[in-house]
Amino acid sequence: MLFMLTNRTRANLSPAQYAELAALAKAFYASMPADVKIRGEWAAVDYSANYSLLEAPDIETVRRVQAPFENYTETVIVPVNAITGWTAT
């Protein structure tokens, strides 16, 4: 399944919290679960949010992967389908 994640960094994080968030991100990329694949990543031009398209077996897997970031980000997870024109695939 495909999932679109929108992540917004929580306001007023301390420098130490930003450092913790960066360490979590590095650890995630270094040891991503085998059943999760990043299909694309984007950042807002003003860096207010980032967007990730993930492939995972189910939403519970995505929630588990996202859980370490909960104290630092506000995240919306939306299951999505690829479309071509007006046709869902």
Query: Tell me: the pLDDT tens digits for 55-87?
Result: 999 999 999 999 999 999 999 999 999 887 776
> What domains are defined for the chain?
2-88 (3.30.70.1060)
**Sequence-separated (6 or more) residues with CB below 8 Å from residue 63:** 77
Predicted confidence band of residue 51 (pLDDT cuts 50, 70, 90): very high
User: What pLDDT score does 23 carry?
Assistant: 95
Structure confidence by residue, pLDDT tens digits, 18-32: 999 999 999 999 999
pTM of the predicted model, to two decimals? 0.86
Per the CB < 8 A criterion, the answer to whether 74 and 5 are in contact is no
Instruction: Catalogue the long-range contacts made by 17-24 (C-beta closer than 8 Å, 24 or more residues apart).
Output: 17/71, 17/72, 20/72, 21/69, 21/72, 21/73, 24/68, 24/69, 24/72
Q: Report the first-to-last Cα separation within the chain, whole angstroms.
A: 12
